[in-house]
Structure 1
Amino acid sequence: MTESEHLDRSISRGFGIAIALTAITLVAETIGGFWTNSLALLSDAAHVFMDLFALILSLMAIKLATRPATDRRTYGWHRAEIFASLINGLTLIFIAFGILHEAWGRFQHPEAVKSKEMFIIATVGLVMNLVAAGRLHGHAHDDLNVRSAFLHVLGDAAASVGVIIGGVIMLFTGWYVLDALISVGIVLIIAWGSVRLIREAAHILLEGVPAGVDISEVAEKMRAVEGVNDVHHLHAWSICSHISALSAHIDILPEYRLRQGEIIGEIETMLDDDYHITHSTLQGECSRCVTGPVIQQLKHRPRRSSLCSHGHGGHDHGHSP
């Protein structure tokens, strides 16, 4: 089994356990929310439902990413992970508005809650959430798809803590408006995580520079390689959380052009070791762009007609004798 296959299997196993635990939590909190008349518990159940949706969506994205590249999708399906992350973030925003609407009604008309039962059910939910989060935590720091699912589960665990504390307070004070206040707290947790998630997913989809990569620093390190005169038309982007790519034109000094392959190989090794850029396309001896900028501004250009591109119907590049 390759290192990549082992990583995918490890992540998939963590998702499978998290899905099972989250499904149990959903059933417990939904039944418990109606039984105790707790908006906070029902809000948490709604969050758990979307957590379950997010986990299943993320697992599907991982399975899609293992499909091979084709002549129509030369990068394969790796971007499916980022689409899943974006959808997860948007669903979190939707949940936040729904809970806020219900909480506003409870502020105006507080309702009695079975606080003891609410406390017990929320405690069970917290334990399930913490176990599920633990299964995902190991891969959450370097995989945006896993991090999106991890944030769902962790946010739900934090919400469960709030429900537990609220249940204890209401049990001794009867201050039932606290149920609505806890729901608002859950909204803030959801909103904070979802905005960050959407921003990171959108950055990758818009071909932004990978996190932790400074383009100016990369260009300087490339110029520092012996035999390199300058670097032009430099682009760096993420295909998914695990795969970063880079392309550039390398102006090689005339006396080093016989060592072009060796120089490019040295640059590729540096990119992999220092920035985990594992997919690079480097063009040497670029006589047309020696004075070009490091960052090339892309422009829209009209397509040439098929007749002109095949040399029929006129002469675009010169005159016949």
Structure 2
Amino acid sequence: MAINHPDTHPAQETEPRHRNRNLALTTGLNLLITIAELVGGILSGSLALISDALHNAGDTIAVALSFLALRIGNKKADERRTFGYKRIEILTALLNASLLIAISVFLIIEAIDRFIKPTPVEGGLMLVVALIGLIANLVGVMLLHPHSHGSINIKAAWLHLIGDTVSSVAVVVGGIAIMWLNVIWIDPVITISVALYLVKESWNIVYETTNILMQGAPRDFPFDNLIREATSIEGISDIHHIHLWNLDDQTLHFEAHICLSQDMSLSEADRIRGLLEGRLKEMFHIGHVTLQTEYPGCRPTNIQHHTNP
């Protein structure tokens, strides 16, 4: 038996060829950058360059995982996964962001150690390798940018690249400072600054993906407006047992009990239910709505029309 849910609204993109190509190109670029910066960092003695290499290694894993998640996420719903496989992309985004935070913490610890035990840095080699990495990172950012708005999974991978681009810029500046001013301490300062930036940006994705996995409602969703709109419909006296959650980063699901103001025929109750469903989809962009009508109504146990979520 095949499971088919026409209301699940799959992602607008269904693995377009150019997106897959861009993901593959970005993965290859990051792998080359990682090798070049790791070798360059060891030869020049630059922790900032080594940190950039480790970050690029994380980028390579992130983009590869994003590609794999997209392939799995586009599988259709079946008897075991009746909601489909879209949440694999959410799990991947969470994994990528968590990995980035872990790498950043490691780099901060290494940078503090470098403050305590300064090490000479070859600024010229550091600068050349960092410039190559910067150019490659910019190419990767441009390749993934068109696809970063419609998927939190790709957004997480794109954020890896943005962070590494910022890191490469910082390493370039550091290389110039070391060459001209012989300021060795700039190397760990750059490392810590970039790491803190990455932690801040990654935390937002950790919060958002965790909220989705916890069946949470979107941040700042206008519950008051929704309840007010529902109870303004003639024939509805109350709405309760409200549950609103993101299935993934694109699809909202909503279910609730609506209490009818009077006893009425099944056809009239269904008309009112359909009216509310239409408004919820049109005004609040909810993709999947499940409503239960009742009279006089059961005892509410969660969000009611006079309370906030």
Residue 280 of structure 2 is aligned to residue 278 of structure 1 = no
Distance across 2 between alignment mates of 1:37 and 1:92: 23
Q: Is the 8 A contact 1:231 1:294 kept in 2?
A: no
| Partner residue of 2:278 out of 269, 275, 280 | 269
Pick the structure with greater CA Rg: 1
- Report the equivalent of 1:101: 109
Query: Which position in structure 2 is the counterpart of 1:46?
Result: 54
SS of equivalent to 1:281: strand
Question: For the structure 1 residues 196 and 248, does the alpha-carbon distance in structure 2 shift closer, same or farther, using more than 3 Å as the test?
Answer: same
User: Could you say what secondary structure the match of 1:248 adopts?
Assistant: strand
Counterpart of 2:221?
Answer: 213
Q: Deviations over 1:184-222 (max 9, x none)?
A: 112112211222221111111111102452222211122
Separation in 2 of the partners of 1:129 and 1:80? 26
RMSD over aligned Cα atoms: 2.2
State the 1:155 CA deviation: 0.7
SS in 2 for 1:98: helix
Kept after mapping to 2: 8 A contact 1:85/1:148: yes
Residues 20-169 of structure 1 aligned to structure 2 (within 5 Å)? 20-169=28-177
The 2-side partners of 1:229 and 1:261 are apart by 15
Q: How many residues are aligned here? A: 294
Matched, 1:6 2:13: yes
Say if 1:142 and 1:225 are closer, same or farther in 2 by CA, change over 3 A: farther
Correspondence 1:260 to 2:269: yes
What is the deviation of 1:7?
A: 4.7
Q: Aligned equivalents of 1:281 and 1:132: distance in 2?
A: 42
1:318 corresponding residue in structure 2: none
TM superposition score normalised by structure 2 = 0.87
Q: Which residue of 2 aligns with 1:304?
A: none
Equivalent AA in structure 2 for residue 109 of structure 1? K
Give distance in 2, aligned partners of 1:97 and 1:175.
24
TM-aligned CA deviation for residue 288 of structure 1: 3.8
Report the identity percentage. 32
**After superposition, where does 1:225-236 map in structure 2 within 5 Å?**
225-236=233-244
Distance 2:159 2:246 in 1: 21
Q: Does 1:251 align with 2:277?
A: no
Give 5+ residue unaligned stretches, structure 1: 297-321
The letter of the residue matching 2:13 is H
Quick one: structure 1 residues 11 and 277, their matched pair in 2 at CA, closer, same or farther if it must change by over 3 Å?
farther
Contact conserved, 2:262 with 2:296, CA < 8 A, in 1? no
Give the Å deviation of 1:174. Answer: 1.1
Secondary structure of 1:254 counterpart: coil
Q: CA deviation at 1:248?
A: 0.7
Normalising by structure 1, we get a TM-score of 0.84
Deviation at 1:134, TM superposition (A): 2.2
| Separation in 2, partners of 1:284, 1:263 | 9
Partner Cα distance (2:15, 2:296) in 1: 43
Deviation of residue 156 (structure 1)?
0.7
Contact 1:22 1:129 in 2 (8 A): yes
Secondary structure of 1:125's aligned partner: helix
* Per-residue deviation, 1:256: 6.0
Q: In structure 2, give the amino acid aligned to 1:267.
A: L
**What amino acid does structure 1 have at the position aligned with 2:277?**
E
- The question of whether the paired residues in 2 share the 8 Å contact of 1:12 and 1:62 is answered with no
Counterpart contact for 2:29–2:140, Cα < 8 Å: yes
